[in-house]
Structure 1
Amino acid sequence: MVQINKVIDKIYSFLKSLTLAVILLSLIAFFSAVGTIAGNVKFLKDLGLDNVYYSKWFLLLIVLFVVNLVLCTLSMIPVTIALFSPSAPNKTYKSKKENAKEHLIALLKSKKLYVQEKDNLIAAYRYPVRKFAVYGIHFGILIIAFGALVGSIWGFRGIMEIPQDQSSSIIITRNNYVSLPFAIYNKNFTVSFYKDKNIPSEYKTTGYILDNNQKIPFTTTVNHPFVYKGVWFYQASYQLNPHKSFIALNINGTDKNLYLHKPLLFDDAQFYLANLSYYNSKPIALLYVELPQGSASGWIKLGDSANLGPINIAFSSAEESYITVLSVAKDPGSTIVILGFLAVIASLLLIFFKFRRRVYRIKKL
């Protein structure tokens, strides 16, 4: 039994130690920073660190930190109680007056000090609230940790892929699917390109939120999200819809529609559209052609034509249909986290007040 008690004491001492607090805080801060950038770094994303906030091991770190903070706070309470329990006088108040005690108390209160009386001792405190600042900081951190737990357990992060003129309520997360109680309808998606470059300058989705009989319009662009019922929607990316995107080719006098990623056989030749984009505000297509004599590939602009042996092709028109990709996140603990930060900031302000404590012993002359 003695050995068991020693082991329990060691575990308790470690759980409330400053060493464990520093280790846990460092790990939480490190992985929080990694989780912020992981979505843009391939090897971090492959390790699953882009979803770090919703992982079980990250939740375990937060829970351990909460346990450490609670135990540390509880161990400090006896010290604080002793501080406000007058003992061991460090000042002597000498007086000839019969009511020396009452006179001293009145004098201390006139200086706006907090006065506490116990037996024949009188304690005076300046800014006693300063000693409770650490409890306020701990309380604020606990609120932040609780908000993080709420967000990790009941929140989510994922993407929605919605073709133009279609709606969806399904969010694809890293490990599963989340079904929203409403749907997002992609009425129109547009993408603009920089002049003389094949680089998008802006992409925008407009549509409706379909919730029961409600039809709520929305518009979102990069860095301009919209929020509905606590769910945030960000314009993340886009892609061509291979089922509806095509180019019209005139092949040896015959008009044919060539769909994206769908091979077309015509006159012993196979045509394949690998990409469709813009250059100088004109559609350009990356085209692969397989002929009995060999193969050819390259970009072709709208209005251009090419002769490939017995085959003559002309790029007459293009039809694009996009799939918008929205990044979706819900964090029901965000408000709680903000309240926790406010509590920490308010408590930190108390540190600027200088605490003083004097315990007087009255000595009559």
Structure 2
Amino acid sequence: METLVQTEVNTRQRGVLSKVYDFFSSVKLAVVVFFLLAAGSISGTLIEQGLSPQEYIANHGEKWYYWINLLSLNNVYHSWWFSVLLALLALNLAVCLSKRLPTIWKAYYVVDTDFTHNLVQNFKNNTVIQYPSGMEEARGKVVDILKGKKYKIWTENNPNDITIFAAKGRIGRLGSTIGHISIFIILIGAVLSSAIGFRGFYPFYEGESVFIPEGNFYVMVEKFWIDYYENGGVKDYFSKMSVIDNGKKVFTKTIQVNDPLQYKGVWFYQSSYGQAWDRLDKAFIRITDKKSGRVVADEALDFRKEKLIAGTDLRLNATNFLSDFAYDSESKQIYAKSGEQNNPAAELEIYEGGELIAKPWIFYNYPNMFPIEKSKYNFILSGYIAPQYSGLQIAKDPGVNLVWVGSFTLMGGLFISFFIFHRRIWIKILPSERSSLVYIGGLTNKDTIGFEKEMKSIIGSF
């Protein structure tokens, strides 16, 4: 009784495992995964990646931004669900390969010398030749002809006949398998890059160290400069970069477009440059008397450094800057609409008589747009100097080597599939009166026309 119960349990377990195996090897699963990956890739193309929350809110609204952020549509190719889909596709491919590989390997490896002349006559490409000598002479002739055609030959002498099996291009059987294994390797590389890799943009300012958490080191742009053509057009731009690891400068390199810096698997690509959208070197403030309109002072403020205005009871501090000021009424957020200097504005802390009386935004294009009620002065942003940044793309792609390996092996697999064909020939030699009967038949996995020509050439060589 116990044995019967155990047998039933084992049968059920095998049934469950078989269903799981069939699920992961199904074509339907592959189609669904491909569809979802395509949909995700389309969303990653239509929705610009890696922007700030404010930019998504400005472009799509707060409600849509909620879903964009929830579904990681702002970072599709490194989202958890994209990594899962890639891993699922890789698993589907691996299980399908495990199903096909035994049959392919058998066709590649097996040497068939156990057959009858009736089997040979069943092949599409077959013929019978009456050779005017004994079986051994016929065997020698066959072997010479097949060796001339680069076939590998196996022979077996039997009491009443001679069996010959010949094959070439056996590796052609493995072309599609190598291709599928290559795609599996590429998918594993893609999963690694998606799951633990990253890609992003960061503006670097001269003399400012930036911590790179993915590599646990600091990077500093020591100098940034631009080369120009004689007509004034930009020729190239450069960043002299230093890597600081464990408090020591360990590496220095000047990078330019298509000549990146790499350290600890993190790559830094020179991609752009421009004026800062969120900071200043100096803000030029004109102070006028409200009643008379008289200019009281023209002051240059260092960014985020409080300054006492001589001859007045004022202290001013330029605390923030936006190159393209925008305000979202729904979220009540202030943000830079773009990196362009379209609507520059500075936030100014105004202390009068030792008291903070206001913290307004003053606009370069719209002076005196919002007068300060508690002050007897007007404050105008008459000019500013924004620092120039070096725009770098930062990327860590741990799966890139696997992708390269997979790509090269894929090319090899395609070459084998298209240009190497597995051809097999079965030959049975039987005795006849004062001669031998040579039964020849063959198969090829591809290039049927080429094989038919080769068979005619072999037959014509007798």
Query: Residue 427 of structure 2 corresponds to which residue in structure 1?
Result: 360
User: TM-score normalized by structure 2?
Assistant: 0.58
C-alpha displacement of 1:334: 0.8
Structure with higher Rg: it is 2
Query: Residue 149 of structure 1 corresponds to which residue in structure 2?
Result: 191
Secondary structure class of the residue paired with 2:150: coil
Match of 1:256 among 299, 302, 305: 299
Structure 1 residues 257 and 283, CA gap change in structure 2 (3 angstroms) = farther
Query: Residue 65 of structure 1 corresponds to which residue in structure 2?
Result: 89
Query: Residue 332 of structure 1 corresponds to which residue in structure 2?
Result: 398
Query: Would you say the 8 A contact 1:285–1:300 is kept in 2?
Result: yes
Query: Which is worse superposed, 324-333 or 2-11?
Result: 2-11
Consecutive unaligned residues of structure 1, counting only runs of 5 or more, are 171-177, 193-199
C-alpha displacement of 1:85: 4.0
Q: Percent identity?
A: 24
RMSD between aligned residues: 4.7
Secondary structure class of the residue paired with 2:75: helix
**Where does 1:190-339 land on structure 2 (aligned, <5 Å)?**
205-211=239-245, 212-214=248-250, 216-220=252-256, 225-234=260-269, 235=271, 239-242=276-279, 244-251=281-288, 252-257=295-300, 275=322, 286=345, 299-300=364-365, 318-321=384-387, 326-339=392-405
C-alpha displacement of 1:105: 2.9
Consecutive unaligned residues of structure 2, counting only runs of 5 or more, are 1-7, 57-64, 228-233, 289-294, 325-340, 351-359, 433-462
Query: Residue 98 of structure 1 corresponds to which residue in structure 2?
Result: 135
Matched, 1:12 2:36: no
Match of 1:48 among 56, 60, 72: 72
C-alpha displacement of 1:331: 0.7
Query: Would you say the 8 A contact 2:362–2:380 is kept in 1?
Result: no
Structure 1 residues 58 and 130, CA gap change in structure 2 (3 angstroms) = same
Secondary structure class of the residue paired with 1:14: helix
Match of 1:76 among 77, 86, 100: 100
Structure 1 residues 364 and 21, CA gap change in structure 2 (3 angstroms) = farther
Query: Residue 195 of structure 1 corresponds to which residue in structure 2?
Result: none
Matched residue pairs, number?
Answer: 340
Structure 1 residues 248 and 217, CA gap change in structure 2 (3 angstroms) = farther
1:218 counterpart letter in structure 2? T
C-alpha displacement of 1:355: 4.0
Secondary structure class of the residue paired with 1:180: coil
**Inter-partner Cα distance in structure 1 for 2:381 and 2:198:** 45
**Inter-partner Cα distance in structure 2 for 1:229 and 1:314:** 48
Query: Would you say the 8 A contact 1:225–1:233 is kept in 2?
Result: yes
Query: Would you say the 8 A contact 2:362–2:379 is kept in 1?
Result: no
C-alpha displacement of 1:130: 1.7
User: TM-score normalized by structure 1?
Assistant: 0.70
C-alpha displacement of 1:329: 0.8
Query: Would you say the 8 A contact 2:198–2:396 is kept in 1?
Result: yes
Query: Would you say the 8 A contact 1:93–1:363 is kept in 2?
Result: no
Q: Which has the higher strand share?
A: 1
Query: Residue 166 of structure 1 corresponds to which residue in structure 2?
Result: 208
Matched, 1:180 2:215: yes
